[in-house]
Amino acid sequence: MLKEYRICMPMSVDEYQIGQLYMIARHSAEQSEDGEGVEVVENRPHEHPVHGKGQYTEKRIYLSSKLPVWIRGYVPKFFYITEKAWNYYPYTETEYTCSFVPKLNIKILTRYENNNGSSENCLNLPEEVITEREVDHVDIVCEPVEEKHYKVQEDLSLFQSKKTKRGPLSEGWRNATKPIMCSYKLVNISFQVFGLQTKVEDLIQRTIRNVLLLGHRQAFAWIDEWHGMTIEDVRDYERGMHLETNQRVCSTHQSVSENQVPSIENMGPGEGSDVDTKEADTDSLKSTNSKSTTPTEESVASPTTPKEKAGYFTSWFKW
């Protein structure tokens, strides 16, 4: 299932780089409690021979209670997915896998541009992918978030920034607002399990869309908190939030071994037999996008450093 989400924001690409990092760190902290949420395993500089200097991150997201009832009986109590992200801003590549569900693979290619979503192929996709993709414009102002996530102070039809004087925003804002930028996200999901494929792929796409909508609303609603920060400032804030969220999440999982994860193909509801963990296949999008350059597991580390020790798992959807 292939979708390209386009999310416009009332700011420049340079401003968004700071706002995005701030929003992800804060949102992750707010969502992490009672053993669920985001655990940051690694966050370090990384250099790519084509894209240049960037940042590599690994995270885990624990989300058992957020799964639909119909799937909870098939997963262990502490269920998490793995995120690996290569950020060469304004271009990023992110992949999600789950050792418990080896046939699940999610890959996201993202590029940020200073326009209102008018670029038809900013990700340099081959013609066959352009034909297959479904373009979905996400409106951070006019589309409602889930009732449990609604906050008056984050309602962008009411909010005005004290620092920048931007907002409130109204219908048609994408054609009348300056500055404006757009996040282009190509999301490719593959879950090849008979009887569940369509249902699971659709669920994941809807979940990602909801996360993108909420996260981008918050990034603008919190602009007065991060506007004026330098990249060094926001990285310091990010490190502090990572320590806080790890303490909340990891204390609950100290007794959970990474090698004690059951396979969905070898168990019934509620069972949990131990099997060796394994990474999902990460080549699903490479076959349709010859220009993608996501490093493989063997090349996660910089070419000048040794191969990273196996066993790092991570998560949380990149905005």
**Domains of the chain, residue spans:** 2-299
Residue 72, CB-side half-sphere exposure with 13 Å CA sphere: 9
The superfamily (CATH) of domain 2-299 is START domain (3.30.530.20)
Output the tens digit of pLDDT for each of the chain's 319 residues.
Answer: 899 999 999 999 999 999 999 998 998 887 766 667 788 899 999 999 989 999 999 998 887 655 656 555 666 666 788 999 999 999 999 999 987 788 889 999 999 999 999 999 999 999 999 999 999 999 999 999 999 999 999 999 999 999 999 999 999 999 999 999 999 999 999 998 888 889 989 999 999 999 999 999 999 999 999 999 999 999 999 999 988 888 877 765 554 444 444 444 444 443 333 333 333 333 444 444 444 444 443 334 333 333 333 332 233 344 4
Contact residues for 294 (Cβ-Cβ < 8 A; gap 6+): 86, 93, 95, 107, 282, 286
Q: Can you state the angle between helices 13-31 and 231-250, rounded to 10 degrees?
A: 20
Q: Is the pTM of this model over 0.85?
A: no
pLDDT value for 69: 61
Residue 301, CB-side half-sphere exposure with 13 Å CA sphere: 10
Nearest-angstrom CA–CA distance, 257 and 272: 13
The DSSP secondary structure of 6-40, one letter per residue, reads: EEEESS-HHHHHHHHHHHHHHHHHHH-BTTBEEEE
Residue 253, SS3 per DSSP: coil
- Beta bridge pairs of residue 47: 53
pLDDT value for 37: 77
Q: Using the 8-state DSSP alphabet, how is residue 107 labeled?
A: E
Nearest-angstrom CA–CA distance, 264 and 99: 10
Are 219 and 20 in contact by the 8 Å Cβ rule? The answer is yes
Are 132 and 2 in contact by the 8 Å Cβ rule? The answer is yes
